Amino acid sequence: MSLDDRKIGEILRIGSHKEHSRREKRVRSSFFDTVRRAIRHIPFMEDVVASYYCALDPETPSATRGILIAALAYFVLPTDFVPDILFGLGFTDDIAVLLAAFQAVQHNIRPEHYERARETLADL
């Protein structure tokens, strides 16, 4: 199973302020639990964690924050297109969404976001 570009575009849509706030709350409450479950399945986890710190950084442009929050909200959602509990397949859709978001905004992820990501991953 894979997601097509149109579906990924729908997932990464920034949405209303209310939707963004709801997604950000979900990301803040579930992100690190999901990272612990996915760490062996996502080869670019440092980028994912750096994206988290970028998304929460008030200096990050709002469009970038919106895209990253949308992708990270999908990542933490356990019952997405391919449920995360499916061994070997559960994170494939998350990888597609995260890669698309990362590629769209990677120029806004700064060295300090990566530094925090490395510190966080070392503690996990």
- Model-level pTM? 0.84
What pLDDT is attached to residue 124?
A: 87
What pLDDT is attached to residue 79?
A: 59
Q: What is the mean pLDDT of each run of 10 residues along the chain (124 residues)?
A: 66 85 94 90 92 97 95 81 49 83 95 98 93
The beta-carbon contacts of 116-123 under 8 Å, at least 24 apart in sequence, are 116/49, 116/50, 116/53, 117/46, 117/47, 117/49, 117/50, 117/52, 117/53, 118/46, 120/32, 120/49, 121/39, 121/45, 121/46, 121/49
